[in-house]
Chains A and B, each alone.
Chain A
Amino acid sequence: MLYREAGQFKSTYAEDQQIFPIRQDRVAVFLLLAVAFLVVPYVANQYWLSAILIPFLIFSLAALGLNILTGYAGQLSLGTAAFMAVGGFMTYNFVLRMAWLGIIPSFILAGICAAAVGIVFGLPSLRIKGFYLAVATLACQFFVLWAIQRIGWFMNYSPSGVITAQTIEILGYAFDTPATKYLLTLAIVALLALLAKNLMRSETGRAFMAVRDMDVAASVIGIPMMKTKLLAFAISSFYCGIAGALYVFCYLGTVEPEAFTLDLSFRILFMIIIGGVGSILGSFLGAAFIILLPIFLSVLTGAFTQATGIEPSHAVLSNLEVIIFGGLIIFFLIVEPHGLARLWQIAKEKLRLWPFPH
């Protein structure tokens, strides 16, 4: 009942097109953002910030990128980690060699580089679809990683293979505490999410979805195939590139190819499957789920240990985690293929009537 829409009339199309047409939604989101920006940095401890919130934001951004490509435009991609790697490595190189650029322009340029790589490896999508395309993106994944490892320029010819990322400095202010890194990441992710939502609501988003649903028909009504598909790859890779840059600078602290393996690509794919393909909210929900799962598991095993006195080994735990991941994917695909986002929508529908029974 709290969630009633009654009394909220839209009198212009503009109002109908809003991202959050229902007033309760607007209030809720506003509160959430306020808490995220103003309260959390002071209240949360180091562990929560560095190990949970920051990676959550970063992975949400990457998941968002993949969702744009796979969820909205229907082009299956297994090369997400490669695009992130391009973003991370190029940012490092820009800061190293062109420090006068400043970090934010470096991020943006690196994102554009990732977009360029995305366009190149997106070219096959003009001819092939489905899992054939997935294989092409696998080629991208392996090739990019190989190139980064072999071509010394990327890692500044470092002998040890592990480089430390530089500290972020904007206008002379250093962002080196978890709290400041968190705020920076939050700001960037929130902004990019807003841009993505706007984009998916407008003609570009519709063109993407048209290509996903029936590309021959889309072409017949005038949607340009090549431009649309390549744009999807470009935008998606841009987002993944920025996520990669944030991954390196605000989370890992080091710049290494091993951080961007195929395994990461799969993890992000799982995030959008569980969270909901074709949904901006879903990217966030999926990322949260996958980040929180290991923690949840360790809490469970802690309780288990306390109750029974048996302490499972680390190997057992990590294997268990993998099994549960896989099992959950299958479970979600069977039960709710549209993921957590759809479950959320259903919950909202129920909320409209709550607390009345029906």
Chain B
Amino acid sequence: MSREQRIGETVLSVEGVSLAFGGVKALQEVSFDVREHEVRAIIGPNGAGKSSMLNVINGVYHPQQGTIRLRANGAWKEFHDMDPHEAASMGIARTFQNIALFKGMTVLDNVMTGRNLKMRASFVEQAIWIGRARREEMAHRRAVEEIIDFMEIQHIRKTPVGKLPYGLQKRVELARALAAEPTLLLLDEPMSGMNLEEKQDMCRFVLDINDDYGTTVVLIEHDMGVVMDISDRVVVLDYGRKIADGTPDEVRANQDVIDAYLGVAH
């Protein structure tokens, strides 16, 4: 099934979002939408507000203006000050630019934490280790092992995360995000700091995730090659404003975008 056929209706809508920190305007009235099953890239020069945008979608930052509308479980929900915990329970998962893994735990444990919202047993049951707690743990372990297989990190599953090289840590973070079985996956510069081979692997993973699990992906990325190759549509931000929105080819030819990257004053 080709990707164009699979892309569905709008599943996330960002409307007129403005965000400021004290005097610094991070985002100014940004609006765009994301369709189901697509891979949407957010690009722009440094400081354009891309990470802030993800943080707003995720509930880490609260915009002063504007709303986010998310279609979850068939119904539209509108909010402007959700907290990250709620976002997670609505099926949004993300990775971070500077890797937010739990350095004191093994890879397996880290990925297992991604399943926390699906675990129902109470702590008493867990302490006694009978019945529901036990079954749950085993079932989730099975699911997590599949994800570990998918991300090809079996060989390091018992290694403490703090000891892994950067590239592998990024993979583990992605695995943890996947473990939550999200409908919307936010990736903040998943390829940063990687060499060519690692980037190719990462691209493959992102595409496979989109294909196999049908997850909608929104990613921030600096590498133009990657963006052009794997995204369906692109949003371009500069100084907190949206300056272009369309397919990779459209955006590449857009004069404003070229100016922004080349630093032409406007």
Contact = CB atoms under 8 A, between A and B. Distances in A.
Contacts of A216: 60, 100
Interface string B128-153: 11000110011001100100000000
Contacts of A278: 104
A350 B87 CA distance: 47
| Contact size range, B | 35 or more
Q: How large is the interface on A (under 10, 10 to 19, 20 to 34, 35 or more residues)?
A: 20 to 34
Contacts of B88: 220-222
A33 interface: no
Given A203-B116, A212-B104, A213-B103, A219 B84 contact: yes
Contacts of B138: 12-14, 17
B64 interface: no
Interface string B108-125: 010011111101010100
B104 A13 contact: no
Interface in A181-196: 195-196
A217 interface: yes
Interface string B80-122: 0001110111000110100011111100010011111101010
A199 B84 contact: no
Given A199-B123, A206-B116, A207-B113, A220 B100 contact: yes
Interface string A11-28: 011100100000000000
Interface string A200-241: 001110110110111011111111110000010001000000
B218 interface: no
Contacts of A204: 123, 126
Interface in B23-62: 58, 60
A76 B137 CA distance: 29
A12 B94 CA distance: 31
B85 A199 contact: no
A198 interface: yes
B100 A222 contact: no
B127 interface: yes
A221 B126 contact: no
Contacts of B141: 13, 17
B241 interface: no
Contacts of B121: 202-203
Given A14-B138, A217-B96, A222-B85, A209 B109 contact: yes
A222 B117 contact: yes
Nearest to B104: A213
A221 to B, nearest CB: 6
A235 B123 CA distance: 10
B251 interface: no
Contact of B126 (A202, A209, A219, A225): A202
Contact of B85 (A14, A212, A224, A231): A224
B235 to A, nearest CB: 22
A222 B116 contact: yes
Interface in A243-267: none
Nearest to B84: A220
Max chain B Cβ within 10 angstroms of own Cβ: one of A203, A207, A210: A203
Nearest to B136: A203
Contact of B102 (A14, A217, A219, A222): A217
Secondary structure dominating the interface of A: helix
Contacts of B96: 217
A222 B180 contact: yes
Interface string B168-186: 0000000011001000000
B142 to A, nearest CB: 7
A204 B85 CA distance: 17
Contact of A221 (B104, B116, B127): B116
A218 B113 contact: yes
A287 to B, nearest CB: 21
A231 B123 CA distance: 9
A131 to B, nearest CB: 19
Given A13-B138, A196-B127, A202 B102 contact: no
A60 to B, nearest CB: 18
A203 B102 contact: no
A31 B109 CA distance: 30
A337 to B, nearest CB: 12
Contacts of B129: 198, 202
A108 to B, nearest CB: 13
A73 B89 CA distance: 23
A198 B125 CA distance: 10
A13 B104 CA distance: 22
A112 to B, nearest CB: 13
B93 A221 contact: yes
Contacts of A196: 127
B7 to A, nearest CB: 27
Contacts of B112: 203, 206
A209 B105 contact: yes
Contacts of A210: 102, 105, 113
B109 A206 contact: yes
Nearest to B126: A202
For the complex of A and B, list the 6 residue pairs with the smallest distance between their C-beta atoms, beginning with the closest: A222-B88, A217-B100, A213-B102, A202-B126, A195-B127, A220-B84
10 contacts: A17-B138, A198-B127, A199-B127, A206-B105, A210-B113, A213-B101, A213-B102, A213-B104, A220-B100, A221-B176
Interface of A: 12-14, 17, 195-196, 198-199, 202-204, 206-207, 209-210, 212-214, 216-225, 231, 235, 278
Given A199-B127, A206-B112, A216-B100, 14 more contacts: A14-B138, A195-B128, A199-B126, A202-B129, A203-B112, A203-B116, A203-B119, A204-B123, A206-B105, A209-B109, A219-B85, A221-B93, A221-B113, A278-B104
